[in-house]
Structure 1
């Protein structure tokens, strides 16, 4: 085993994951039916989407079944690590996304770009009806997303807003009173390499918000921390630790992932 793979393996074995919350059903039982986490992202040859913790991930049709499995495994593991690491006080702040990204970079992905920025939302002037409209406009203006990636992110967000049960699942991970956060993610294969792009948004609002997808921002102001991250897979490393990563996730079975109909 090479030194870099050994280091990743040691990290996976030693890192604490978020504990199971009371009342959550075992995702391990659901996995017995679907086979692997990648199935939540749809079948190869089709665009797909799922919620993984506070991230709405969309995948393009060119991802293989194994690609989808690796994306879902990586996102769930890093979501659990970040949730455990930052605690309730920082779960909906920029600190969560820093911890999330740090974990991704230690399990077989490498950073291509990472950029933070700040914004201020004034509900009476921003032009967006709700927080997800604001995210959609940010994605639409972002030159680093391809047209296909923009289309699937917007499609997934728009679809999720209309699915009350799915939205309730997402709300558990994204709403924290006057502080909330969520990320959108795309995964694709470019020149044979698996890559992901994240846009994370942490909102610090002037009022309590119970749903950061559909809540009107007309009478709200909010400070926003935004993080855009591009990562690419070291496939050799991911292949080597896949079974170990899945074993850790299965041992910590809880409800961190669910599909989104698009």
Structure 2
């Protein structure tokens, strides 16, 4: 398949990482609002499950880096978000670690972010970031929620994950929502896995892309995206290679209006 036969791609090139990169507490509504103020129309977020099955936004397997979970839930409580119900997680402070001005910012649910994006016409890349051991379940539940939340919308979110099991779970419950395999290295059989999952895109560590690999992935009918691109030289290299999407922390450096 040639690049000319690629399916239409509704998403913009520039994608704000975790809302606004490092300028606001990641994966909070404050971050997505700040990214939007910088002109971004597409965002990347991380979704995992509470112990009672509520998809919420968090990157890490543990709560300690980006919330006051250790203090609020007790030093002897498990630091893993997936071990606590949403009622407890919703009370955590997810902003004070970043700056005093964001103290008290709560963890959002995927539904909170979905409603914000849909109301404003924004696009979303949902990275399925499961707590270890519940990869497929997380994909299934995130798929169920996304299918309900984006029902009837012209443009659906893009799922991505480093874990094929999570993408398989999402494919089971939301086969109509496009999927992308995340790659930090080119492991043996990774592209076969992506094709078996019906992926619409590959999202690579940006240093992995070269002209031949871009052509090969486009030839398979998949789009080419990159993370996390924070330097102008790297962005210009990827644009010259003809890649399709750039995920960045530097919403203050790159203007999405530049193309």
Same fold (TM over 0.5): no
In the superposition, the TM-score normalised over structure 1's length comes to 0.25
Q: Which has the higher strand share?
A: 1
Indicate the structure with greater helix content.
Answer: 1
* TM-score, normalised via structure 2 length: 0.25
